[in-house]
Chain A
Amino acid sequence: MDKDTEIIRRAQNGDLNAFRELVDEHKRNVYYLAFDLTRNREDAEDVSQDVFLKVFRSLKDFRGDAKFSSWLYRITVNTCLSLKSRKSYTIMQGSENLEEMIDTGSEMSNPGNTNPESQTEAGFIQKNIDKAIEKLSKRERTIFIMRNYSGLSFGEIVKILKLRPGTVRSVNFKALEKLRKELAFYKDEI
């Protein structure tokens, strides 16, 4: 049983403290995903707040068919998409055509780079992975992050992004291959 089930039930019955527990439990993960998709701290903060407003509004409609976290991530991804469209640039718009994806551009800020850790080996690895991930297309990055860092299964990603299972797997694999090449390049630098 989903560990959130009891808290969700209470929140659905109007218990604001229970809703706060849900927020506290998930806010960080929502932020992580929002940041990874938007690559912008301010956008990630706006999205995180919007996501929980949407959750609050539609919590009564949550039937528990899927995991609460999956439902939450779906709202997060959709909120990121609408944020992007509001700013006149898109992430994926449901297109199956990878060529249509917009390359990552100058908006890909990387606030982590100012970390003093970057002088250490761990910091160096972190920086290189960061750079490598940023070189992925937005679709590749979205799917790769959801699969490898948000702990979502392929089935869940398929439902969230409304893509074919084959597409999700193939995009994730392409992303992994790109990362392998990028990280191999950095390893040579050491």
Chain B
Amino acid sequence: MKDCKNYERLFEKALYNELTHTEEKIFMEHINSCSSCRLKYQELQETLVELKKYKRHEPDEDFMNSFWKTLQPKLAVKERAQENPWSKLLFFLRGEFKWKYQLAGGIAILVIGLFIGKYFLAERGEENQAVSTDKSELAVDEAKANLDAAKYIEKSKILLLGIVNFDPSKDDAGTINLPHMKNISKQLANEAPALKSDLTEPSQQQLKRLISNLQLILLQIANLEEKNNLDGIELIKEGVNSQNIFLKINIQQLQESNKSINKQNSKAGKENKNI
């Protein structure tokens, strides 16, 4: 019996015709002399033959027929993500790792911004001291417009994150409160013209363009139909993606952050001089 156990390791190879010439000779000698192993080997052979009759579970034919149709749009999204490094980043942030990574990314950008502002752009802060008194009112208006725009951008960003993170193939339709989002989008879109009219300085034109882009997307969201809106949401996601909206927002926020740091540095420098 103990001997038989040693030959068992050859059973498996024998069943699949994978014995070497020497192994085969040893194995056959044992099989011919041991009725117990011979019987077991025969049964295993029969089992393998029986198992060949097993038919694997057929897929749903509708699924098979529409396989390519379902796959193709996903390929298009992946292809775009592969082509453009920024889109790739956005795709990474949007699709697979969602808000946690976006939040981490946002914090990282902010920290880098603070670092750059503190150590490299400090001199610019001192330049700001040279602003003449008669320009101070204009500067205050400009700062207020920038602040309002920054709030507007932040609100829009949160709203858009909710939209782009919604994945109809994985998330339940109830996870997105579309009527609420539509309502907020409408309010924000209505606020945009007044904001843009305050952004008159050359340095504010980039900000103005971003708000125009956001306004358009917000209008699209506000005009989404209540029912069968998945296609509409996909279109909006595509639009956000293709226009690199989140990248533009992050750059804008980084610039604002730098400006804020410069002002603080400038103020601090002034106080130091007074001391």
Which A residues are closer than 8 A to B by beta carbons? 16, 19-20, 23-24, 27-28, 31-32, 35-36, 41, 44-45, 48-49, 52-53, 56-57, 111-112, 122, 125-126, 129-130, 133, 148-149, 154, 169-170, 172-173, 176-177, 179-180, 183-184
Contacts and interface: CB of A to CB of B under 8 A. Distances in A.
Nearest to A130: B54
What secondary structure prevails in chain B residues at the interface with A? helix
Contact of A176 (B44, B56, B70, B78): B44
Nearest to B47: A180
A74 B13 CA distance: 23
Contacts, number: 87
B71 A35 contact: no
B120 interface: no
Contact of A179 (B8, B13, B51, B71): B51
A86 to B, nearest CB: 10
A169 B13 contact: yes
Contact of B51 (A19, A36, A129): A129
B82 A57 contact: yes
B90 to A, nearest CB: 16
Interface of B: 8, 11-13, 15, 18, 43-44, 47-48, 50-51, 53-57, 59-60, 63-64, 67-68, 70-71, 74-75, 78-79, 82
A32 B67 contact: no
Nearest to A45: B63
Nearest to A186: B50
Given A45-B63, A169-B13, A23 B78 contact: no
Given A45-B63, A148-B51, A180-B44, A53 B78 contact: yes
B44 A177 contact: yes
Given A23-B68, A169-B13, A35 B56 contact: yes
Contacts of A19: 75
A133 B57 contact: no
20 contacts: A19-B75, A23-B71, A24-B67, A31-B59, A31-B64, A49-B70, A49-B71, A49-B74, A52-B71, A53-B74, A56-B78, A112-B57, A129-B50, A149-B54, A154-B18, A172-B12, A173-B8, A176-B47, A180-B44, A183-B51
Given A176-B47, A180-B44, A183-B47, A53 B54 contact: no
Contacts of A57: 78, 82
A-B interface, 7 closest residue pairs, ranked by CB to CB distance from nearest: A173-B12, A180-B47, A129-B54, A31-B59, A32-B56, A35-B57, A27-B67
A56 B75 contact: yes
Contacts of A45: 59-60, 63
- Residue with the greatest number of chain A CB neighbours at <10 A, chosen from B67, B75, B79: B67
A132 B71 CA distance: 34
Given A31-B59, A172-B12, A176-B44, 11 more contacts: A19-B75, A24-B67, A36-B57, A44-B59, A45-B60, A49-B67, A133-B54, A176-B48, A180-B43, A183-B47, A183-B50
A125 B49 CA distance: 12
A125 B71 CA distance: 36
B76 to A, nearest CB: 10
A52 B74 CA distance: 10
B75 A53 contact: yes
B55 A126 contact: yes
